[in-house]
């Protein structure tokens, strides 16, 4: 009974939607997931669960009326224990982010402040959905800033002089020349730009789902699920447009010469489209049902579908950055999340 109560408090079935944030963020850097990415995943999991525990602690009086079966109002978990768990998980998350470097720690600190502000103050205000969207966006940026930094290298690509002559190539251990430094600065700007784009997409989806969740206890809203459905359709179309850039090249696709092979539809364009369709399929059906019949059960189902849809969205964002392997790894979490959601509600 105690284990199940904690599983309900922490909403462990929604936990599988978290690792994809860091992996999608890592994909936008053009590098491979590394030890820093692993620290970011661990920090994200801890901070997410801290928010879940803090959420139920802050809502214990409201849940006593609307959801008396929740762990705290039902008496299965003491309020002090939930608050202590939130504090311990927060400290663990910040510690793991610190292991990845100063920049990831700064992002994790901002993420922590956003989570605590949302649960304690902003949740029931008009700024609530925006705060939750900011938290998810920061979670993706945590993965982007952590990747490559655990080795002491702020950039995931080796610093090499592009000049092929041996006497002009300082190698990865020497100080690069002006040309290489300019290339590194340009790559860093591109990485930040790509990470911000992916973070904005994930934040927009989170905003839509959070807006719907504000009606899940009592239902009654048709306009909000319809607006969320439109947002899902727009995000699905945006992520299905194909890879933003090819790894290891700066030439845009339209600038490369056409060959018989290049006229074929590449996998980098097909995979984001497939994953974008999976994202829309996961979120759109429950939202449409909630719009047609805005009852509490269907609204809660729409929220659950929106939470699960984060996984294919994260995979689509990773694939759009050219990280097919990361996208496949993220999609591997779908059956686990689906199976556990049958036992523990994600909402």
Q: Let me know if residue 56 belongs to a domain.
A: yes
* pLDDT value of position 191: 55
Residue 161 banded pLDDT, cuts 50, 70, 90 = very low
* pLDDT value of position 252: 43
Contact predicate 306/205, CB 8 Å: yes
Better pLDDT: 339 or 10: 10
Q: Let me know if residue 43 belongs to a domain.
A: yes
Residue 186 banded pLDDT, cuts 50, 70, 90 = very low
pLDDT in tens, 100-110: 999 999 999 99
Instruction: Find the domain containing 99 and state its range.
Output: 2-156+190-245+266-341
Better pLDDT: 97 or 169: 97
Can you tell me the mean pLDDT for 294-321?
A: 93
Q: Let me know if residue 163 belongs to a domain.
A: no
Instruction: Give the C-alpha distances (Å, rounded to integers) separating 179 from 158, 160, 186, 191, 249.
Output: 14, 10, 11, 18, 16
Predicted TM-score (pTM) of this structure: 0.81
Give the whole-angstrom CA distance, residue 190 versus residue 172: 21
* pLDDT value of position 242: 60
Give the whole-angstrom CA distance, residue 308 versus residue 14: 7
Q: Which of 96-105, 269-278, 292-301, 338-347 has the lowest mean pLDDT?
A: 338-347
Over the chain, what is the mean pLDDT?
83
160, pLDDT greater than 80: no
* pLDDT value of position 121: 94
Better pLDDT: 175 or 52: 52
pLDDT in tens, 13-32: 889 999 999 999 999 988 88
Q: Let me know if residue 172 belongs to a domain.
A: no
Q: Let me know if residue 258 belongs to a domain.
A: no
Q: Let me know if residue 176 belongs to a domain.
A: no
261, pLDDT greater than 80: no
Pinpoint the alpha helices (H) of 29-101: 35-58, 60-66, 79-100
188, pLDDT greater than 60: no
Q: Let me know if residue 199 belongs to a domain.
A: yes
How many domains in the chain? Answer: 1
pLDDT in tens, 115-153: 999 999 999 999 999 999 999 999 999 999 999 865 444
Give the whole-angstrom CA distance, residue 276 versus residue 232: 10
CATH number, domain of 326, equals: 1.10.357.140
* pLDDT value of position 251: 39
Pinpoint the alpha helices (H) of the chain: 2-10, 19-28, 35-58, 60-66, 79-100, 102-117, 128-146, 178-213, 223-239, 267-292, 296-308, 310-320, 324-331, 334-341
Q: Let me know if residue 109 belongs to a domain.
A: yes
Residue 253 banded pLDDT, cuts 50, 70, 90 = very low
Identify the three-state secondary structure at position 259. Answer: coil
Buried b (16+ CB within 10 A) or exposed e, 113-137: ebbbebbeebbeeeebbbbbbbbbb
Mean pLDDT highest for which of 3-7, 201-205, 265-269, 333-337? 201-205
Better pLDDT: 259 or 90: 90
* pLDDT value of position 148: 81
* pLDDT value of position 187: 37
The position carrying tokens 């949302």 is 118
* pLDDT value of position 255: 45
* pLDDT value of position 337: 85
Give the whole-angstrom CA distance, residue 347 versus residue 345: 5
């Amino acid at each position: 009974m105690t284990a199940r109560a904690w599983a309900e408090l922490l909403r462990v079935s929604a936990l599988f939607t978290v690792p994809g944030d860091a992996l999608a963020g890592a994909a936008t850097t053009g590098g491979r997931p590394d030890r820093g990415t692993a620290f970011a995943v661990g920090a994200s999991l801890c901070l997410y669960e801290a928010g879940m525990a803090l959420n139920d602690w802050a809502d214990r009086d409201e849940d006593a009326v609307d959801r008396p079966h929740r762990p705290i109002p039902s008496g299965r978990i003491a309020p002090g224990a939930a608050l202590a768990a939130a504090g311990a998980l927060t400290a663990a998350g910040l510690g793991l982010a610190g292991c990845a470097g100063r920049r990831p720690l700064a992002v994790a600190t901002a993420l922590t402040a956003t989570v605590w502000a949302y649960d304690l103050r902003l949740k029931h205000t008009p700024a609530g959905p925006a705060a939750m969207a900011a938290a998810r966006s920061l979670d993706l940026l945590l993965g982007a800033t952590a990747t490559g930094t655990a080795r002491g290298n702020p950039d995931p690509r080796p610093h090499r002089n592009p000049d092929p002559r041996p006497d002009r190539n300082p190698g990865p251990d020497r100080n690069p020349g002006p040309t290489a430094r300019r290339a590194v600065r340009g790559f860093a700007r591109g990485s930040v730009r790509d990470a911000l784009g992916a973070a904005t997409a994930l934040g927009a989806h989170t905003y839509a789902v959070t807006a719907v969740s504000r009606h899940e206890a009592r239902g009654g809203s048709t306009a909000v699920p319809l607006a969320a459905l439109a947002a899902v359709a727009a995000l699905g179309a945006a992520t299905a447009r194909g890879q933003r850039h090819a790894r290891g090249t700066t030439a845009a696709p339209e600038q490369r010469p056409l060959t018989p092979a290049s006229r074929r539809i590449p996998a980098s364009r097909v995979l984001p489209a497939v994953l974008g369709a999976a994202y829309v399929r996961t979120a759109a059906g429950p939202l449409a049902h909630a719009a047609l019949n805005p009852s509490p059960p269907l609204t809660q189902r729409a929220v659950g579908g929106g939470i699960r849809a984060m996984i294919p969205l994260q995979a689509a964002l990773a694939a759009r950055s050219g990280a097919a392997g990361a996208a496949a790894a993220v999609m591997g979490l779908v059956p686990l999340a689906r199976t556990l959601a049958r036992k523990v509600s994600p909402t």
